[in-house]
Structure 1
Amino acid sequence: MKAIRLKLYQNMVNYKKPTSFQLKETYPLPPYSTIIGMIHNLCGFEKYKEMDISVQGKYFSKVNDLYTRYEFKNGMKYDKTRHQIKSGDYGVGRGISTAELLVDVDLMIHIIPKEEKLIDYIYRSFKSPREYPSLGRREDLAVINEVKLVELKEEELEEDIILPENNSAYIPISLYENEAINIGGTGKVNSNGTKYKINKNYELVNHGSKKNPKVFRKWNKIEVIYSSRISALEDESILVDEDDNIVFLA
């Protein structure tokens, strides 16, 4: 099985949690949906292409940064005592808020499109990108340190494989429960880590009528455990690439 392996570096980045507002919190690694969005943008895909993603990496620290925030209420007329901006007859509030940023992020991402014929196209799109890639917010630029086509194989390990020091990963619950992965200790599987439900892709669902549609995104969420100190256990079967990097596909 072939995959595209990316190694990316980002100086400061926010992978926004959808439920955070006053403080724009960040996930510790980019969600699958964010990575898939970057791929579709660089490749120029206009329709969704199914793919599996594995992501692991590390960051050095976190900081908080201020940004300008705009607020408005649908249909609220401009009131000079409460609004800073007038847009036509309507008012917009402008203030400041705080964003949480990760510093010095290193990522390793594996990409396996469902259509095998897309592998070379995605590889070329990252090898010679049409624009500077960003991952997270639009301004969160990503430096591509490696783009490589790799072979993946599932093999029974002769010895433990341990993630590099300080590296973390999203481990799908289905992979975690088969006891091939050990987290944060010795022996069989431990439960050290944080559970997330990470967005991957969505379908458009109409909750209205055909005449009066109310279309919303219904997200497919992947339940994962985020953790460091990860190892694949001896005598267990696990998916690895040709350089013996563990692959956590979702």
Structure 2
Amino acid sequence: MKENKKAVRLKLYQNMVNYKKPTSFQIKETYPLPPYSTVIGMVHNLCDYKEYKEMKVSIQGKYHSKVNDLYTRYEFKNGMKYDPERHQLQVGEFGISRGISTAELLVDVELMIHIIPQDQSLVSEIENAFLKPREYPSLGRREDLVTIQEVKAVNIFEEELKEDIELNENFTAYIPLDMIGESIVVDEGISGIGNRGTRYKITKDYKLINHGTAKKPKIFRVWNKIDVLYSSKITAIEDEIIFKDSDNNIIFWA
């Protein structure tokens, strides 16, 4: 067994939450688990980091059901003048439309997240930030509060398995596609189709790119997106080398 790194393991609970898909507008659709960027943002906020800290993240979890909820939606067009027959609100000479729309909400979400900072000296700092948060933590929307059930610093090992290890019962995970193969397999079930699941491109971090000039900069975020398979019934195979924590949990870091 080879010890590689230390991580902060979080076990979190959320009553109702939306992890919004960026391409959904009429209905605020939700990812089944929080994106890497959302988790990294929560860590940076609680630690009060002013610049980006490189880190790897492993995300596993489950939810009980999914419901729809109404919310107030505001729409405006750049430069459109106020029209009392069209707009409900007036700001200066401009008009804003107000209406209702629908958001998907996951119910009774349980998460197990591993935070592996590149700078290993930050492990205790991140652990303390969750043990004694400076504000009530949220994950997803600002109002999606988090109940912290466990915060624990753990060791991450690279190990050749003596026996198969299965993902926690009923849990799902984001598995980077480059991890799926001989060491990590997804149960084919009744269908006989191997590696069943849903493929996503999940945002992790971004770089600021100037598409303008030095005098007239036009700064855009260019996201680093991770190809993952979202699935359950995941097994790490005997005699293969995988990463796991000191409590025998499989790590799917990205």
**Who is 2:97 aligned against?**
93
| 1:71-150 alignment, distance < 5 Å | 71-150=75-154
Letter paired with 2:31: Y
Deviation digits for residues 86-138 of structure 1 (CA, Å, limit 9, x no counterpart): 01111000000000000000000000111111111111000000000000000
TM-score normalised to the size of structure 1? Answer: 0.97
Deviation digits for residues 1-39 of structure 1 (CA, Å, limit 9, x no counterpart): 110000000000000000000010000000000000000
Judge conservation of contact 2:188–2:195 (CA < 8 Å) in 1: no
- Unpaired segments ≥5 residues, structure 1: none
Letter paired with 1:117: S
Letter paired with 1:192: R
Deviation digits for residues 182-214 of structure 1 (CA, Å, limit 9, x no counterpart): 10238xx92201110000000111111112111
Judge conservation of contact 2:157–2:243 (CA < 8 Å) in 1: yes
Distance across 2 between alignment mates of 1:54 and 1:143: 19
Distance across 1 between alignment mates of 2:176 and 2:136: 30
Q: Which one of the candidate residues 187, 202, 208 is aligned to 1:184?
A: 187
2:46 pairs with 1:42: yes
Distance across 2 between alignment mates of 1:216 and 1:58: 34
Q: Which one of the candidate residues 141, 149, 152 is aligned to 2:156?
A: 152
Q: Please give the secondary structure, in 2, of the residue aligned with 1:35.
A: helix
Identity of aligned residues (%): 66
**Who is 1:230 aligned against?**
234
- Unpaired segments ≥5 residues, structure 2: none
Judge conservation of contact 2:17–2:141 (CA < 8 Å) in 1: yes
**Who is 1:17 aligned against?**
21
Distance across 1 between alignment mates of 2:174 and 2:117: 19
**Who is 2:66 aligned against?**
62
Q: Please give the secondary structure, in 1, of the residue aligned with 2:141.
A: coil
Q: Runs (4+) of structure 1 moved beyond 2 Å?
A: none
Corresponding residue pairs, total: 247
Letter paired with 1:100: E
Q: CA deviation at 1:56?
A: 0.2
Letter paired with 1:4: V
Letter paired with 1:110: H
Letter paired with 2:88: Q
Letter paired with 1:56: Q
Q: Please give the secondary structure, in 1, of the residue aligned with 2:129.
A: helix
Distance across 2 between alignment mates of 1:92 and 1:209: 33
**Who is 1:204 aligned against?**
208
TM-score normalised to the size of structure 2? Answer: 0.95
